[in-house]
A = this chain, B = another copy of it.
């Protein structure tokens, strides 16, 4: 089976999992019956559990779907505690459905797979030992990779039915009112976890700081929570987000950032009230700095900034250059700390951020998004999932979602070491070229031919180094040579969903 962008998909797996092949970036306006949890009523006297083990015993059964959030990132102390109890109790055939999997979770998931505890995974991404294991066929069933918006859609439509959500929070009261803004392990927005809190049948909050009742502001509400467990520490504050944000001094990143800013500023979208999403990489952070200067120079203010938020974006908010920050996740301490102090920093859940199946996601209103790539091919298709060796080492994240913006700019170096970023064909298709408008590399800028309007405008701009993407691909190839074709086995180890739930690509096991 082949989808509209000519990616080969395994017919048998597709049929077994009842999946449709990707056809279009246009979601249309379907009417979908939402799902809802089974709720056990309580007045709450017995919510505060004596131990995590007790709660696991009371809630988890073989075959269930369990979930976690990844807001603690590499500082997460929750996932390993819960999974250790689950593995040691000898559960079988669980589906793991976290918002994403960070490196600190890798080894224990590999162990859970090897012991048959986990036989299904859906996630935004995975890396390290887990990516290696899955890419070598360790998991019984294919992983389903979903974007943040796609996960929200899948939860809301019932494709992901969470039985038990284990949600770490830096504060909570005994009834389960909690937020991510205060406490030793504060991380700011609870955006991804809000989906689990609303839709899981059983919600277990795990915290290291019990607050007096009632704890407000309540991002997660007592009406959603079955159990509250107090533990010693939910996360390592130093690893949750980067500390002080330092701007890159890498000349290549600075050059790319300046070129990205030139593209934005010369586009028709750079005008009063525009909106943007940047990321947390070195170049993306530097873009924010260049963009700030351009906004000051031209007296232009943004209506909102979106996405994973960093302190430089909060600085723009405080400076009045951005009216609102719509915050699904905070990437650093500065952004996390400002949340409860600044009422223009609005916490949003993953559905509001990016679910195409709701009544309007923030990404639908986005003018400019700046995204990264592991690979981008001459059809502007982007891979952020597999490495040049074909092994899983990435995440869909909000990539597909933010790419629906009016001006989607992929910024990436032309090559990384001996590996080309601009390639004839991506190893794994994650974000279709139909939703990508411009590629910026240090060696030049390529505009998607479907955006002739942009090309016409940019051609009038002096010093904008325009090339065709084929020319950039050739440049890359001249530097690093032609890559050997990768070899894969017939085993499908993962399916990559497009944000609408169709399958945009399959990932096969690598040959050793």
Contact = CB atoms under 8 A, between A and B. Distances in A.
A286 to B, nearest CB: 26
A214 interface: yes
Interface in A477-511: none
A346 B217 contact: yes
Contact of A30 (B41, B47, B304, B340): B41
Given A36-B35, A303-B212, A359 B222 contact: yes
A36 B358 CA distance: 13
B303 A213 contact: yes
A223 B44 contact: no
B36 A34 contact: yes
Interface string A21-48: 0000001111111111111111110010
A273 B212 contact: yes
A258 interface: no
The complex is assembled from copies of this chain, and their number is 2
A362 B214 contact: yes
A471 to B, nearest CB: 34
A324 interface: yes
Interface stretch (A73-81, A247-255, A348-356): A348-356
Contact of A360 (B38, B42, B304): B42
- Interface size grouping (class) on chain A: 35 or more
Contacts of A35: 36
A216 B324 CA distance: 8
A359 B213 contact: no
Interface string A467-483: 00000000000000000
User: Of residues A42, A47, A218, A323, which shows the largest number of chain B Cβ atoms within 10 Å of its Cβ?
Assistant: A42
A221 interface: yes
A323 B362 CA distance: 34
A267 to B, nearest CB: 20
Contact of A359 (B44, B346, B355): B44
Given A39-B357, A41-B357, A365-B175, A214 B33 contact: no
A212 B42 CA distance: 41
Given A216-B324, A359-B225, A360-B223, A32 B38 contact: yes
Contacts of A364: 43-44
Contact of A32 (B39, B203, B225): B39
A326 interface: yes
Contacts of A360: 42-44, 47, 175-176, 222-223, 225
A340 B343 CA distance: 9
Interface in A201-253: 203, 212-214, 216-218, 221-226
A223 B36 contact: no
B359 A224 contact: yes
B39 A358 contact: yes
Contacts of A273: 212
Nearest to A227: B359
A352 B39 contact: no
A175 B362 CA distance: 10
Given A214-B326, A223-B355, A360-B223, A34 B38 contact: yes
A344 interface: yes
Given A41-B27, A346-B216, A222 B352 contact: yes
A41 B346 contact: no
A265 interface: no
Nearest to A213: B303
A138 interface: no
Contacts of A60: none
A361 interface: yes
Nearest to A222: B360
B323 A212 contact: yes
Contacts of A323: 212
A40 B239 CA distance: 40
25 contacts: A27-B43, A28-B41, A29-B41, A31-B40, A32-B38, A32-B41, A33-B36, A36-B36, A39-B156, A39-B357, A40-B359, A44-B365, A175-B360, A176-B359, A212-B273, A212-B303, A212-B323, A214-B303, A214-B324, A214-B326, A214-B365, A216-B346, A221-B352, A222-B360, A226-B359
Leading 9 A-B pairs by shortest Cβ distance: A34-B36, A44-B360, A43-B364, A36-B36, A216-B346, A223-B358, A31-B40, A222-B360, A41-B357
Given A35-B36, A214-B324, 7 more contacts: A29-B42, A32-B38, A34-B38, A36-B36, A43-B361, A44-B364, A216-B346
